[in-house]
Amino acid sequence: MRRPHWRKMTWAIIIFSVLMAIWLIGGLAGADNSSHCAQEAHPYLSQENCTAARDVGTGIGAALIFSLWFIGFVILSLIWFMTRPRGRDCPVCGETVKKGRTRCPSCGYDFAAAVGHPAPEAG
């Protein structure tokens, strides 16, 4: 039995999404450093304002990463749709059969008979 074959663009979308998720999670987890505001004495910022400013910066960074993720996903998805195969694979010989054909030109496999529908008359 043949296993499903994913296209290269499918792998590119999955890897891109995983990397962006890791970047987003790492950025949010690394922003939990509240010791900086406690260690540094700021003449213009109170402890609460320093923490609020750090949280706003984290939110802006997360929004930018998510925006890049969305834009990249849309672009990669469009490429995925534009490069889709123009046929189907024959289950017997593995050759690509153009859409609309009911027989494989290499081995003669009949797609219509496999589904149980009569093949259209060639004429």
Q: Tell me the pLDDT of the chain (123 aa) as tens digits.
A: 555 678 889 999 999 999 999 999 998 888 766 667 767 677 777 878 888 888 898 999 999 999 999 999 999 999 999 987 777 888 888 788 887 788 888 888 887 777 765 555 554
Query: Do the strands 87-89 and 96-98 form a parallel or antiparallel pair, or are they unpaired?
Result: antiparallel
Q: Give the pLDDT confidence score for residue 15 in this predicted structure.
A: 95
pLDDT at 123: 46
CA–CA dist 1, 72 (Å, integer): 35
The domain ranges of the chain are: 1-84, 86-123
Which tokens in the block code for residue 88? Answer: 């189907």
